[in-house]
């Protein structure tokens, strides 16, 4: 799942330690919003096991890039750490347009994409996804 045409909607990146979780979550998002939202996912380490890769996250950000920004949904701490590293490696003009959402990966990705498909700003997409997190 990659962005095929330019979009003014916020992009969504799904990062999981499991390639199956990442792919399945992306499929759910795509079933909900179709092609309205730039969407990319990555999961697993380069050797095929569980884990995450900064390089794969960088590639996913590029595939889901939108000038409206990119919201990243992660499953566990390592995915968040590597996503933050990937953000730091972005050009300065992109860094402020990428956020990691503190939200459940599946529910957060679906609600974030639903908001994004309606043209919501990056801040609204992030806040809406994060409302799903327990206090």
In angstroms, rounded to a whole number, what is the distance separating the alpha carbons of residues 130 and 17? 20
In angstroms, rounded to a whole number, what is the distance separating the alpha carbons of residues 120 and 82? 26
Sign of the dihedral defined by the CA atoms of residues 135, 114, 20, 54, in that order: negative
Q: How many CA atoms lie within 13 A of 24 on its CB side?
A: 10
**Annotation marks residue 17 as catalytic:** yes
Would you give the DSSP letter of residue 36? S
Question: How far is the CA of 46 from the CAs of 79, 105, 117, in angstroms?
Answer: 14, 21, 31
Active-site pick, 9, 13, 15, 17 = 17
Give catalytic residues, as residue numbers: 17
């Amino acid at each position: 799942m990659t962005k095929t045409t330019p979009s003014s909607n916020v992009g969504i990146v799904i990062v999981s330690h499991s390639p199956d979780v990442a792919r399945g979550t992306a499929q759910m998002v795509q079933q909900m919003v179709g092609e309205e939202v730039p969407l990319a996912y990555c999961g697993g380490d380069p050797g095929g096991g569980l884990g995450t890769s900064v390089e794969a996250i960088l590639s996913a950000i590029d595939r889901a890039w939108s000038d409206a920004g990119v919201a990243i949904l992660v499953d566990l701490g390592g995915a968040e750490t590597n996503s933050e590293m990937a953000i730091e490696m972005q050009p300065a003009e992109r860094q402020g347009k990428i956020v990691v959402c503190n939200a459940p990966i599946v529910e957060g990705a679906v609600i974030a994409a639903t908001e994004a498909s309606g043209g919501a700003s990056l801040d609204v997409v992030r806040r809406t996804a994060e409302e799903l997190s327990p206090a």
